Chain A
């Protein structure tokens, strides 16, 4: 069992967390956006091999945060609350 650091609760079992998508995928301004633009936002993913910046939620406390992680070694590099405060 891997431990993930929740910025609010500290280290907890991986099974308490849920993956929410890659970080920085901002919803585009809808006006005049062609279908391809929407497809990019909705479906296209960087899916990197190596360092990834991802949104996760700790389901127990409800905290959403950014986790920087290595997708090959599964090492956690950093976690940041979405409010911008640093922890763990």
Chain B
């Protein structure tokens, strides 16, 4: 039986006719009770379960997923991993995630295909260049790699960009993060699931949470489509469905759910070896390892739980794409889809205990939580294991909305919400 993935095991399995491979994770029946339950089998939920077992030795843990693992935003996102944020609190959080990503394939014994190909945010005016310089300064002071690009630098990393004199938004320069890049989204979900399962975590799919068991004012378990399951510590990482479950637990969250769309072209030969974002055009692009051009943009402006996306937003994104890369006019679009993202007024996540004791939150990642999965998992695991915040998660507690200590990354790092 082959348990560890390596070049050697691949070779041996080749000789043995591929007969020794095991399913990557077990699919047991749910037990009536656990030490901890994690609701939601996206990247954040699976990572939480893994770090509970690995960092805190708590492995009587179940991940309960209503569909299939990675079927939410984790498997729908455009996989950009970066840490070019503005405020020190965000730098700590996304910096932790970025560092963990750099060692993740080894840590999980699963290739998450992290490709640190760099990312450039293009600036299109003198004013945008000034904001770009401020961002670069802030990042450098906070110890994150960043560089202010001239138009020639942008041309060097993206020669196919539209540099013509009559471009709708001419290139003035850009903000570069060399350590940014992409990773394989499914591999992140599957790698965490496999590693967690090997440490004893039960991964239970097709198991929808329909209600909470509340006894003596505390959360004591959940009702699911596969029966009642008890635990004294419950973590919830359900992204766009956070408000929907919060209502069942008796509280409201500072979240609006919106559809965020993306699309990919047919695969083509390598032509773009960096991630490029143009906020003025409302578009960001990369090329996948398979050769597809991966295209993303801003939110649909209509609150929604439909994982579908509306046409006007898609049309705007494609118009911007063709302005940025006229050469892409020849591409055929292959797929379009949407995920329901959890948008918070200050564009920062919510990590901490909920108003219902024993129930802990990891949500509010909005359009940008893929890059944060290793940190979100580490921090929720610590909360579930100890009941206490890590210094890194403390500022992201729900209480910031009453104290007024918002971490407004929409204004700080120019997130397109």
Contact = CB atoms under 8 A, between A and B. Distances in A.
Interface of A: 1-2, 13-15, 18-19, 35-36, 38-40, 42-50, 52, 54, 71-74
Which 5 pairs, one residue from A and one from B, show the smallest C-beta to C-beta distance?
A47-B243, A43-B254, A44-B252, A39-B402, A39-B401
B256 interface: yes
Given A45-B243, A48-B247, A54 B312 contact: no
Given A19-B301, A72-B305, A44 B254 contact: yes
Interface string B309-340: 01110000000000000000000000000000
Given A47-B256, A48-B247, 8 more contacts: A1-B310, A1-B312, A19-B301, A44-B254, A46-B247, A47-B253, A49-B241, A52-B303
B255 interface: yes
B197 interface: no
Max count, chain B CB within 10 A of own CB: residue among A2, A13, A14, A50? A14
Given A45-B252, A52-B303, A71 B402 contact: no
Contacts of A43: 254, 345, 401
Contacts of A73: 306
Contacts of B247: 46, 48
Given A49-B241, A49-B305, A72-B306, A14 B253 contact: no
B257 interface: yes
A45 B302 contact: no
B244 interface: yes
A33 B97 CA distance: 39
B236 to A, nearest CB: 15
A73 B302 CA distance: 12
Contact of B252 (A14, A38, A46, A72): A46
Contact of B255 (A47, A71, A72): A47
B310 A44 contact: no
27 contacts: A1-B310, A14-B312, A18-B301, A19-B302, A35-B403, A35-B404, A36-B402, A43-B254, A43-B345, A44-B252, A44-B254, A45-B252, A45-B254, A45-B255, A45-B256, A47-B253, A47-B256, A47-B257, A47-B303, A48-B247, A49-B257, A50-B305, A71-B257, A71-B306, A72-B305, A72-B306, A74-B302
Interface of B: 241, 243-244, 247, 252-257, 301-306, 310-312, 345, 401-404
A50 B253 CA distance: 17
Contacts of A52: 303
A24 to B, nearest CB: 13
Contacts of A39: 254, 401-402
A46 B311 contact: no
A41 to B, nearest CB: 11
A38 B112 CA distance: 44
B252 A40 contact: yes
A54 to B, nearest CB: 7
Given A15-B312, A45-B255, A74 B345 contact: no
Contacts of B301: 18-19
Contacts of B311: 1
Contacts of B345: 43
A60 to B, nearest CB: 15
A2 B301 CA distance: 13
Max count, chain A CB within 10 A of own CB: residue among B241, B244, B253, B304? B304
A14 B254 contact: no
Contact of B310 (A2, A19, A40, A72): A2
B243 A46 contact: yes
A46 B256 CA distance: 8
A46 B304 CA distance: 13
A15 B403 CA distance: 36
Contacts of A54: 303
Given A43-B345, A46-B252, A71 B303 contact: yes
A31 B403 CA distance: 18
A73 B345 CA distance: 25
A35 B306 contact: no
B118 to A, nearest CB: 34
Contacts of B306: 71-74
Nearest to B300: A14
A84 B312 CA distance: 31
A73 B307 CA distance: 10
A49 B311 CA distance: 21
Contacts of A15: 312
A64 B123 CA distance: 36
Contacts of B256: 45, 47
B252 A74 contact: no
Nearest to A15: B312
